[in-house]
Structure formats: structure tokens, C-alpha cells
């Protein structure tokens, strides 16, 4: 009885090892196959550089509302000619600093110094929720 029992255990163990060995072999062959693919190598640099501001003293802003929502914003105090040709983007923020509406990009035209630019907003936030704004001019 002991001999038969040992033979059964060996046969059961042998049958359990075969599928495991097949899975391991398949896994290694997949790794070997994938190793043949070329890899793109990228580098990331670090550094710093001064970025000139086209308007170092900031902007003013006024809003147009309809049915309690801000539909457009007029950005004023834009310096000329240094900002002409730049791309203006505006974000209105709530009391937590989260963006609740925005406009742009709008190209800053050549205009009298200081100039103004009106930007339509989407979505149109509730005027009572507006606590601040962020204006960025990229370029020219």
C-alpha cells in the first residue's frame, strides 16, 4: 500500500510540475521576444533661464455679466508694443483657486499703451463665485 501511495504522490506531483514548467517557459520566451524590440531613449535636461516679461506690472480685469453669469472679461493694462502678437489666456478662479471659467487663446493686437483685450468665456461661471483670475500672455 505504501508503494502505491508513493507512486500516486509522485505521479500527481509530476503532473502539477509540467504545467508550471510550461508557464515559466512561456514567460521567458515572451521576455526574450520583447527584448528584440528596439527601445527609444530620451533624455531630460535640467536648467534655468530668464524669461522676459512683456508686461511686468500686471493687468486689470473687468467682467460683463448676463443673468448672473460672467460672459466675457476685459483685460486691461496690457503693455505695448512688447505684448503685441502674444497669445493671451485667462482663467477665472473661485475662492479655493480652482478654475471655474476661462477664455482664449486670443492674439494681442497692436494697440495704444496700455491696451485692453476682451475675451469671451466658456464655461460662463456664476459671477458670485469668481474670487480671482490668472492671465498669461505667451510669446510674442
Q: What is the pLDDT of residues 72-123, one digit of tens each?
A: 999 998 887 888 899 999 999 999 999 999 998 999 998 887 888 999 998 9
Domains of the chain, residue spans: 60-138
Closest CA to 75 of 95, 51, 139, 86: 86
Q: Which residues pair with 118 in a beta bridge?
A: 74
Q: What pLDDT is stored for residue 58 in this prediction? A: 84
Round the average pLDDT of the chain to a whole number and report it. Answer: 77
pLDDT level of residue 139 (50, 70, 90 thresholds): confident
* Cα gap 104→122, rounded to integer Å: 9
- Report in angstroms the alpha-carbon separations of 38 from 33, 34, 35: 11, 9, 8
* Cα gap 112→129, rounded to integer Å: 32
pLDDT at 13 over 80: no
Please give the residue that has the higher pLDDT: either 92 or 52.
92
The model's pTM is 0.60
Amino acid at each position: 500500500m505504501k508503494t502505491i501511495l508513493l507512486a500516486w504522490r509522485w505521479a500527481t506531483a509530476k503532473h502539477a510540475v509540467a504545467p508550471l514548467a510550461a508557464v515559466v517557459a512561456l514567460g521567458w520566451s515572451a521576455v526574450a521576444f520583447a527584448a528584440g524590440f528596439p527601445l527609444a531613449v530620451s533624455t531630460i535636461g535640467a536648467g534655468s533661464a530668464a524669461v522676459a516679461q512683456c508686461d511686468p506690472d500686471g493687468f486689470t480685469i473687468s467682467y460683463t455679466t448676463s443673468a448672473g453669469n460672467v460672459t466675457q472679461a476685459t483685460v486691461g493694462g496690457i503693455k505695448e508694443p512688447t505684448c503685441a502678437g502674444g497669445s493671451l489666456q485667462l482663467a477665472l478662479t473661485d475662492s479655493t483657486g480652482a478654475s471655474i471659467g476661462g477664455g482664449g487663446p486670443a492674439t494681442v493686437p497692436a494697440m495704444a499703451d496700455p491696451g485692453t483685450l476682451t475675451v469671451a468665456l466658456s464655461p460662463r461661471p456664476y459671477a458670485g463665485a469668481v474670487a480671482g483670475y490668472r492671465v498669461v500672455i505667451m510669446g510674442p
